[in-house]
Amino acid sequence: MEDAHLNLSCMLTVESKVESRDTGKATELLERGHMEYGCPHYRRRCRIRAPCCNEIFDCRHCHNEAKNNINVDQKHRHDIPRHQVKQVICSLCGAEQEVGQVCVNCGVCMGKYFCGTCKLFDDDTSKRQYHCNGCGICRIGGRENFFHCYKCGCCYSIMLKNSHPCVEGAMHHDCPVCFEFLFESTNDVTVMLCGHTIHKDCLKEMREHYQYACPLCSKSVCDMSKVWEKYDMEIAATPMPEPYKNKLVWILCNDCGKSSQVQYHVVAQKCLNSTCVTRLATKGSVHSFDHLAVSVTEGIVYPPLRQRHSNGIHSCKGTGPELRFTCFCVDGGVGIKNVDMFETKWRELIWKRHELM
């Protein structure tokens, strides 16, 4: 009886070792070539056959870059319909087959992350990929860190869940700076205070060029209260000539959307809405006063033609409906010389340009 138990124990031990060895071989087979194949966009062990042009590419980004190249005829430029990919080619054995995670010929895993809907393969799981049913595509960053806003039509960080202003289809348009389609962009996207979206790098570049208004709606993209305070001080220290002390103009504020009639000042106008108090409002639009000339008769901003001279002085010349002007900028200051009307000390008036941060 003891011999029978001993034999049974030995048999189980042998079977366990065989199963363990087989499992190890299977795992080794699946892991062959892990992180050794792919392209600059994805580490994967397969290539795709594009259903649109029947050509083979490492990934959809490689296809889109090749087919939208400047050297390609515009009539032939196109993007791959990612959800329609049906055939893949194993990078290890070269077998072409229907889309699947494991190669039917050599048994290798073609991507540790696999999405059958998006036909996405990726060995680099540190990206924490997940498929969003609301977006209809795969995202990165971890499902627990994002939520899908059905009005905006995209995934946002959970930090914005109760604080972001919803804009219909906010991500389904091009970046207002670089014109890349934001919904499928691989670069970081941020939401501005107005609810419009833009690439983080593009917003940073805007600030570096002293642009602090949304390119789409002209609302402020950051807190401008300190700048408005500086303008209050500057206006208080800059009295207007007698003919213009009681001049009134209509302004439309892009921050709050309200119209109001205010006393005209050559530096800036101030929104009368107590919850807004935006500066630099002009009839029809809001502008920074940097390198712009103003009609003192109508309070309208005209962007002049700007030139840079060898001595570092920026000069601009243009003509408004009732005013000819010359605008100049020296050492970061902006000023206006009106060749028709400002024949007093106002010819030499210079306003300092205020910079944020």
What residues contact 266, with CB distance under 8 A and at least 6 apart? 238, 240, 244, 294, 296, 336, 349
pLDDT digits (tens, 9 = 90+) for 92-117: 999 999 999 999 999 999 999 999 99
State the virtual CA torsion across 30, 36, 41, 45 in degrees, nearest 10: -40
Contact 114, 120 (CB under 8 A): yes
What residues contact 329, with CB distance under 8 A and at least 6 apart? 291, 313, 314, 315, 335, 353
pLDDT digits (tens, 9 = 90+) for 200-253: 999 999 999 989 999 999 999 988 888 888 888 988 898 898 888 889 999 888
Q: 69 exposed, middle or buried (CB, 10 Å; 0-12, 13-18, 19+)?
A: exposed
Q: What is the pLDDT of residue 279?
A: 59
Q: What share of residues in the chain are helix, strand, coil (percent, to 5)?
A: 25, 25, 50
Phi, psi of 22 (to 5 degrees): -65, -40
Q: What is the pLDDT of residue 246?
A: 85
pLDDT at 344 over 80: no
Q: What is the pLDDT of residue 24?
A: 64
Q: Which residue has the higher pLDDT, 289 or 190?
A: 190
Contact 265, 295 (CB under 8 A): no
Amino acid sitting at position 208: E
How far is Cα 207 from Cα 230, in angstroms, rounded to an integer?
Answer: 18
Contact 191, 183 (CB under 8 A): no
Q: Which residue has the higher pLDDT, 299 or 121?
A: 121
pLDDT digits (tens, 9 = 90+) for 58-97: 999 999 999 999 999 999 999 999 999 999 999 999 999 9
Q: What is the pLDDT of residue 5?
A: 52
How far is Cα 102 from Cα 33, in angstroms, rounded to an integer?
Answer: 13
pLDDT at 177 over 90: yes
Contact 269, 318 (CB under 8 A): no
Confidence tier at 158 by pLDDT (50, 70, 90): very high
Pairing state between β 154-157 and 146-149? antiparallel
Helix or strand holding residue 17 (H, E): helix 2-31
Q: 315 exposed, middle or buried (CB, 10 Å; 0-12, 13-18, 19+)?
A: middle
pLDDT at 274 over 90: no
Q: 233 exposed, middle or buried (CB, 10 Å; 0-12, 13-18, 19+)?
A: exposed
Q: What is the pLDDT of residue 278?
A: 64
Separation in Å, CA 237 to CA 28, 173, 177, 259, 351: 78, 44, 37, 26, 11
Lowest mean pLDDT among 13-22, 89-98, 256-265, 301-310: 301-310
Contact 291, 306 (CB under 8 A): yes
pLDDT digits (tens, 9 = 90+) for 138-155: 999 999 999 999 999 999
Prediction pTM value: 0.63
Phi, psi of 102 (to 5 degrees): -110, 135
pLDDT at 22 over 70: no
DSSP state string for 171-185: TSSB-TTT--BSTT-
Q: What is the pLDDT of residue 244?
A: 86
